[in-house]
Structure 1
C-alpha cells in the first residue's frame, strides 16, 4: 500500500539524512517518552485519523493499513536501533511529529487512489 511506493522510500531517505538529529543525543532528552515510543504514539494517532476520515474503509482495508504501520515501525526500529530507547529531545519530538504527518499523507494519497 505505502511501503512499496516511491514516496515511502523518499521519507526513509529523509529520515536517514536527519539521523544526526537522533545520534547527537545520548540520554539527555527532555520528553518523557523515548524516541520509539514517540514514533509509535504519533503514528498511532495519525492512523486513527486516517481511519476516522475514511469510514468507508472495509475491515480488510483497515487491516492492510495496520499491517503497513507495523512494517513502518519495524523499519524505524531498524534505522533507529542505537537511539530508540533514548528520551526524545524537543527537536526530535518536532521531527517525529512532522515525519508522522508525512506518513499520514502517504496513506491519504493511497486511500484516495483506492476509492477513486
Structure 2
C-alpha cells in the first residue's frame, strides 16, 4: 500500500538524513517518552484518524493499513535502533509529529486511489 511507494522511500531517506537530530546531548531537556514510544503513539493516532476519516474502508483494507503500519514500525526500529530507547527532546518530538503526519499523508493518497477504483 505505502511501503512499496517512492514517497515512503523518500520519507525514510528524510529520516536518515535527520538522524543527527537524535544524538541527544545529556544536558538537553527531555520529555517523558522514549523516541520509539513517541513514534508508535504518533503513528497510532494518525492511523486512527485515517480510519476515522474513511469509514467506508473494508475490513480487508483496514487490515492492509495495520500491516503497513507494522512494517513501518519495524523499519523505524531498525533505523533508530541506537536511539529508540532514549528519552526524546522537544525538538525530536516535533520531528516525530511531523514525520508521522507525512506518513498519514501517504495513506491518505493511497486510500484516495482506492476510492477511485
Alignment length, in residue pairs? Answer: 116
Unmatched tracts of structure 1, length 5 or more: none
| Partners of 2:27 and 2:56 in 1: CA distance | 43
Structure 1 equivalent of residue 17 of structure 2:
17
Partner in structure 2 of residue 87 of structure 1: 87
- Distance across 1 between alignment mates of 2:29 and 2:80: 15
Evaluate the alpha carbon distance shift between residue 48 and residue 113 of structure 1 in structure 2; reply closer, same or farther with a 3 A threshold.
same
Q: Which stretches of structure 1, 4 residues or more, deviate above 2 A after TM superposition? A: 23-29
1:28–1:87 CA contact under 8 A, matched in 2:
no
> Which residues of 2 match residues 43-54 of structure 1 at below 5 A?
43-54=43-54
Q: Distance in 2 between matches of 1:48 and 1:66?
A: 10
Runs of 5+ in structure 2 lacking a partner? Answer: none
- Normalized against structure 1, the TM-score is what? 0.96
Query: 1:44-79: CA deviations, max 9, x gaps?
Result: 000000000000000000000000000000000000
Query: TM-score with structure 2 length normalisation?
Result: 0.95
RMSD value, Cα: 1.3
* Displacement after TM superposition at 1:87 (Å): 0.2
Q: CA deviation at 1:23?
A: 2.2
